[in-house]
A and B are shown apart, each in its own frame.
Chain A
Amino acid sequence: MEVLGLFNYWVFAALLMIGFYALIARQNLFKKLLGLSIFQSAVFLLYITMAKVDGGTAPIILDPDLVTIFSNPLPQVLILTAIVVSISTTALGLAIVVRIREAYDTIEDDEIRKLDRRS
C-alpha cells in the first residue's frame, strides 16, 4: 500500500515522456502539438497530486466553525489558470500549423525541411 502512494508520480513520468516522444520522434506537426498537450497535462497531474491531503476534501469552507481537512488550494489555483492558458497556446500552435500547410502543402517536418533546403 505504501508504494501505491507513489503511483501518481510514475504515471506523471510516463505521460511526460509519452508526450515528449511525440514531440521529438514524430514528424507530423499536428501530432507534435497533441504530444505537447499530453506533456502539459502530465505537469498538471503532478501539481494536483501534490495538493492532495489524505481524508481531505475540496477547499470550500461551508462552515468556518467546523474543523475539516482541506486539500491545498494553491496548486489548484495555479493549474486552473494554466489549463486555460494551455488551450490558448495550443490554438496559436494550430493556427501556425494551418498556415504552414497552406505555404508548403504538407505538415510533415522532414518534408518541410527538404522544401526549405531546395529553395
Chain B
Amino acid sequence: MLVIFSLFLLSMLVVTAIAIIRSEDLFSAVMLSGIFSLLMALNFFVLDAADVALTEAAVGAGISTVLLLGALALVPNRERNSRRKRYTFVYLTTLSAIVLAISYASFDQPRVGDPAAPVHQHVAPWYLEKTPELIDIPNVVTAVLASFRGFDTLGEVYVVLTAGIGVLFILGNSRTGVLPRRREPKLTSSLKNHLIPRVVGRMLIPFIILFGLYVQFHGEYGPGGGFQAGAIVAAGIILYALLEGEGAALRVLSPYVLVGLAVGGALLYLGVGIACMLLGGAFLDYSVLAADPVKGQQMGIIVIELGVGLAVTGTLLSIFHAFAARDQ
C-alpha cells in the first residue's frame, strides 16, 4: 500500500515539475511550485525524514511561495511566448539521453531501503549508537546538526545571513538606505478588504507563532529545531503583514529589530563556539559548558538552536520586507 502511495507521490512530482516549466502564466507557475514543495515534503515524510519534511513544508511551501509572489509583483507576470523555439529538439534529445543514462546507471545503485548500502556503513551507525551516551537527547538529527556537525551548521547560518545582506543591498536604494521604509505597499492592500481571510487569518496567527515556539524548544525531543521554527514564526508574521498591511507589521518588528535578530542570532551561535574555547575546550565543543559533559552538550544545543531560530526569522522577514517595500 505504502509502495503504491509513494509511487503516486513521485509521479505527481514529475507531473507538477513539467506543469511548472510549461506554464506561461508565471502566477500559476508559482502556485504550482508551492504544490511541488508540499508533494516533496510528503515524499520526505514517507522516506522517514520527519525533520526534513517539516523544513520543506515550512520553507518550500510557505516562505518560498510568498517570496516568489513578492518578486512577481515587481516583474511582468507572463512569460513572453516565443514562436521560434530554436534548439528545442536538441535540448530535449540531449536531456532525455541524460535521463536514460542516469536511469541505466541506477541499476548499479543499491535498492532504496537496502540496509547493506555503503551509505549506512560509515559514520551513521556511530551517530546512532553514541547520541544517547554522549548527548542524551532523543532526536539524532538535532544532535548531529547542532553538536557533531555544529561547525557545518554554523557555516549554513552565515550563508543565510550573507544572502539576506545581499538582498538588502541589492533592493535597498541610495535615498532611503538599505533598510525598508514603513509604508503601505500594493502587495498587501488587497487582503485587507477580504472579510474571511482577515477573520480566519487573525485567529490563526497566535497559534502559528505558538507552534513555531513549540518546534523551536521541542526540537531535541521530536522533529524540529531552529531552522524550522524560524521559518514558521516568519510565516506567521508574514501572514500578519498580509492581513494588516506592511506598515503594521513593521511597527511590531521594525527593520532594525529584524536585522538585529538576524545578526544577533548568528553572533550568538559564534559566541557559544568562542565561549567553549575560552573555557578550555575546542571550538563548538559544548562539553565544557557545564560540569557534566552531557549537560553541557544539551545546554550548548539549546542555545545554538535559539541562535539559528533568531537568525532565520530575522533574515527571512528582512528579505520579505525588502521585496514588499520595493517600488514598482
- Report A's interface with B, CB cutoff 8 A: 1-2, 4-22, 24-28, 30-31, 34-35, 37-38, 41, 44-45, 48-62, 64, 69-77, 79-85, 87-92, 94-99, 101, 106-108, 111
Contact = CB atoms under 8 A, between A and B. Distances in A.
Contacts of A8: 10, 112
Given A17-B98, A58-B48, A60-B223, A99 B170 contact: yes
28 contacts: A7-B10, A9-B112, A13-B98, A21-B21, A25-B88, A30-B26, A38-B17, A41-B36, A41-B60, A52-B47, A53-B120, A59-B140, A60-B50, A60-B223, A69-B115, A70-B140, A73-B140, A73-B141, A76-B49, A80-B52, A80-B225, A81-B145, A83-B55, A92-B167, A95-B166, A95-B322, A97-B75, A98-B71
Interface stretch (B121-129, B272-280, B290-298): B121-129
B40 A41 contact: yes
Given A41-B36, A101-B75, 6 more contacts: A6-B103, A9-B112, A45-B43, A85-B163, A91-B67, A92-B166
Contacts of B40: 41, 44-45
A73 B153 contact: no
B199 interface: no
Counting chain A CB atoms within 10 Å of each CB, which of B3, B74, B88, B91 scores highest?
Answer: B74
Contacts of A19: 17
Contacts of A83: 52, 55-56, 59-60, 227
A56 B47 CA distance: 9
Interface of B: 3, 7, 10-11, 13-14, 17-18, 20-21, 26, 29-30, 33, 36-37, 40, 43-44, 47-52, 55-56, 59-60, 63-64, 67-68, 70-72, 74-76, 79-80, 82, 85, 87-88, 91-92, 95-96, 98-99, 102-103, 106-107, 109, 111-115, 117, 119-120, 123-124, 127-128, 131-132, 138-141, 144-145, 149, 152-153, 156, 159-160, 163-164, 166-167, 170-171, 221-223, 225, 227, 231, 312, 315-316, 319, 322-323, 326
Nearest to B133: A64
B7 A7 contact: yes
A64 B111 contact: no
B80 A27 contact: yes
Given A51-B119, A61-B140, A89-B163, A2 B14 contact: no
Contacts, number: 279
Given A14-B14, A54-B114, A90 B48 contact: no
Given A6-B106, A13-B102, A60-B222, A28 B26 contact: yes
Given A2-B111, A18-B17, A35-B21, A80 B163 contact: no
Main secondary structure of the interface of B (DSSP, over half): helix
A76 B51 contact: yes
